[in-house]
Amino acid sequence: FPERLSNPRLMSVQRTLNVVMNQNVSLSCHSDSGSPPVTYTLFKHNQKVSTLSRPDLTPGLFNLTINSASDVGEYKCKAENKVSNGGKYSNSLNFTLIEPISKPVLSSPTSQAKKGQNVTLSCLSENGSLPITYIFFKGKQNISPPVKMHKREAAVIFLYISSSSDFGTYKCRAENSFRNNTKYSNSFNFTLAEERSHSQPLIISLGLILLLFIIGFALAIPFFIIPLYKASE
């Protein structure tokens, strides 16, 4: 007697749901039991993508190309035979589009610092699939644990400038789940800020006092000194 089909299983032949743009992928739809022949239909967002038939219980293979972000939506398949009423539906699959990261930018609110000052460094890749992991370096030595960002925001670290060696060259590194795609940032250097001499404000104050004295003396000449000179003649 004809046997109804079991619910099919939808699987990625690549055994991963992470894909890149323009990648070719294959989906397998398979009912383990039921009377052949079997018709398999693939759906994306409940819209029919493709239909194929199998004379036996071998899997139906659907070949796709990921051309845009819309191609990574939800996929399901349906299996039907002569005795199935409306067919049987599979589990759903969702691909994740993985994009390579762009070169990160390392920056700071200030490029000048002095000893004893706290400063910050920010590292950000504008493009690439999240999450992105950042690591900061001074020279070739890492100075931070990995910072994983799940939002399109800069990773930030805080530094304390304690000696002249802290004015070295800084960089950061960014990476995500895209294979063999590690990018390093631009170099960033803090420069030593010139410290004002403690005597400079005193010199400026004395100069202003002297200037005011000269102006006051010049204003007093017509009113006091000239009349006194005339009275003495």
CA nearest neighbour of 140 among 111, 117, 172, 109: 172
Tokens representing residue 171 in the block: 């960089």
Residue 224's alpha-carbon distances to 111, 209, 211, 212, 215, in angstroms, are: 56, 21, 20, 18, 14
Enumerate the domain spans of the chain.
8-97, 105-192
**Distance, C-alpha 114 to centroid of its chain:** 30
Task: Please give the share of the chain, as a percent, with pLDDT higher than 90.
Answer: 62
Specify which residues 18 forms β-bridges with: 96
Q: Strand 96-97 relative to strand 18-19: parallel, antiparallel, unpaired?
A: parallel
Tokens representing residue 87 in the block: 């067919």
CATH class, range 8-97: mainly beta
Specify which residues 61 forms β-bridges with: 28
CB of 120 within 8 A of CB of 156? yes
Residue 196 has a pLDDT of 53
- Chain position carrying tokens 């990625």: 12
CATH of 105-192, one of 3.30.540.10, 3.40.50.620, 3.10.20.310, 2.60.40.10: 2.60.40.10
Longest Cα separation, the chain: 147
For the whole model, what pTM was predicted?
A: 0.62
Residue 199 has a pLDDT of 46
d(CA 32, CA 82): 16
Query: Average pLDDT for residues 74-102, to the nearest whole number?
Result: 92
pLDDT digits (tens, 9 = 90+) for 18-32: 899 899 999 999 999
Say whether 105-192 and 8-97 share the same fold. Answer: yes
pLDDT digits (tens, 9 = 90+) for 138-154: 999 999 999 999 999 99
